[in-house]
Structure 1
Amino acid sequence: MTPSAAELLASTTARLAPDPQANRLVPLISRGEASRETLAVLALEQRWVIAADRRSFLHLAERAAATPIAAAFFTSLAEGESLAAERMTAFAEACGVTAERTRTYDPLPGCQAYPAYVSWLALNASPADAILALTANFSAWGGYCARIAEALRTHYAFPDEARAFFDLFAQPAPDLDSRATAAVSAALDEGRLDETAAHRYGRLLQCYEAMFWNSLRAIP
């Protein structure tokens, strides 16, 4: 029996769940052992990621224009990145990041591999396959954000506004989930979904996600 869209999203997310040991930084932040400099570099790298991902999602929305359900999913992601950019400002300021440092900062290749691959997906993957891969990855990202938000409160005494970026992604997103399910369901019905390709894309996203965090782990 062919699985439903909801079942396929759930099973793909479970299959692509990262090894608990893959991310070597978030446990340090959770224990309050990461330096303020590491948090500052996290803020600087995220500024690059947010801007790049927003453009990638907008491009995917354009490519999916003939399928309004999928286009709405990517448009929602782009809008989320715009909100994330606003909330990142308070986190960066709490980390002591100045406007001058932001302007002159040179990003780390290991951190920017993830948005570079999202850009590749925006250019090369079918929108339906990208939805499945991205949704599976978001589960791990949301878990990391929840742990960081709690650590910023308990170990680093960051105010609410400085934690808002991580709270945004840690919260459930039922509207986004329903759009992903509807888009995957339509793709299944029309034979537009390549599960093998989507799984491959999702696996690479998880690898690049781990690379992002572990590149930051090397910061003193």
Structure 2
Amino acid sequence: MAVDVAVLIKEAQAQLAEQAVPNRFLDRLEAGRVPRAQLRALAGELYRLVRSDRRSFALLAARFPDAPAGDLFLAMAQGEGEALRLLLDFAAELEMEEWELAAYEPKPLAQAYPAYLTQTSLYGSRSDIALALLANVEESGAHYARVADALRSGYGFDEAAVGHFRFFADTPPELLDQATATLAAGLAAGDDPVEAVRTARLVHAYENAFWGALAEDAPAH
């Protein structure tokens, strides 16, 4: 039986809404209660995450080279490369050089998300990541927008320094169209819709774990 793509996306989004949790790190950031050391930790975690995700998307493009999947995953890999460049501007505002980002010791739970993405890029279907993107894009983008706005208003960062967060706050519609087409093609080829929804849910949970790990060391008051 054919799977309705729009219905599947709504099902995934409903499951994500059920596991929504407060983002304590962003709440404290907006209140101006995240110290500079924690902002440096954010830069270090993101440096490792983005570099890993770029390789994961490149691997997916190699596994699924035909359009629309190949075009989607190549665009996502290239996007991570641009995000990495912009992250260096954020680090520079924190007086961090790239070697310091590379030397940063990551928190295990903060890196659970990229580790899971790597696992999925190796063993998952094209539909898994496509649905995860479509189901998570609104909340994930809102989180990055909150970071950018908080850094501008509460910490005095200029727009160039928050470019990394602006980049992920606004996903191009054409990329979402490619993701929808990839999901439809994958499902038509026999990808498991249940596994795709499960992947979307786990990606969401691991993204929450990323922010939660950063909040652990941020002051509560």
Q: What's the TM-score, normalizing by structure 2?
A: 0.90
Structure 2 equivalent of residue 183 of structure 1? 182
> Is 2:127 aligned against 1:102?
no
**Superposition pairs for residues 31-110 of structure 1, below 5 Å?**
31-65=31-65, 67-110=66-109
> Is 2:28 aligned against 1:28?
yes
> Is 2:199 aligned against 1:207?
no
Q: How far, CA to CA, are the matches of 1:61 and 1:103 in structure 2?
A: 26
> Is 2:141 aligned against 1:128?
no
Q: Deviations over 1:179-209 (max 9, x none)?
A: 0111122233x24231210111112111211
Sequence identity percentage: 35
Q: How far, CA to CA, are the matches of 2:99 and 2:2 in structure 1?
A: 55
Per the TM alignment, residue 20 of structure 1 is displaced from its structure 2 partner at its CA by 4.6
Tell me if structure 2 keeps the 8 A contact 1:5–1:182: no
Per the TM alignment, residue 172 of structure 1 is displaced from its structure 2 partner at its CA by 3.8
Q: Mind listing any 5+ residue stretches in structure 1 that lack a counterpart? A: none
Tell me if structure 1 keeps the 8 A contact 2:68–2:178: yes
Q: Deviations over 1:125-168 (max 9, x none)?
A: 11122211233233321110011111111111101110101111
* Corresponding letter in the other structure for 1:197: E
Over aligned residues, Cα RMSD in angstroms? 1.9
Structure 2 equivalent of residue 9 of structure 1? 9
Q: How far, CA to CA, are the matches of 1:133 and 1:141 in structure 2?
A: 11
Q: Deviations over 1:50-91 (max 9, x none)?
A: 1100000000011112x3101111111101100000100111
Q: Mind listing any 5+ residue stretches in structure 2 that lack a counterpart? A: none
Q: How far, CA to CA, are the matches of 1:196 and 1:7 in structure 2?
A: 12
Q: How far, CA to CA, are the matches of 1:104 and 1:171 in structure 2?
A: 30
Judged with a 3 Å threshold, the aligned counterparts in structure 2 of structure 1 residues 99 and 178 are, in CA distance, closer, same or farther, namely closer
* Corresponding letter in the other structure for 1:81: E
Tell me if structure 2 keeps the 8 A contact 1:37–1:219: no
Structure 2 equivalent of residue 174 of structure 1? 173
> Is 2:187 aligned against 1:192?
no
Tell me if structure 1 keeps the 8 A contact 2:126–2:182: no
Judged with a 3 Å threshold, the aligned counterparts in structure 2 of structure 1 residues 20 and 125 are, in CA distance, closer, same or farther, namely closer
* Corresponding letter in the other structure for 2:44: L
* Corresponding letter in the other structure for 2:191: L
Give 3-state SS (helix, strand or coil) of 1:62's partner. Answer: helix
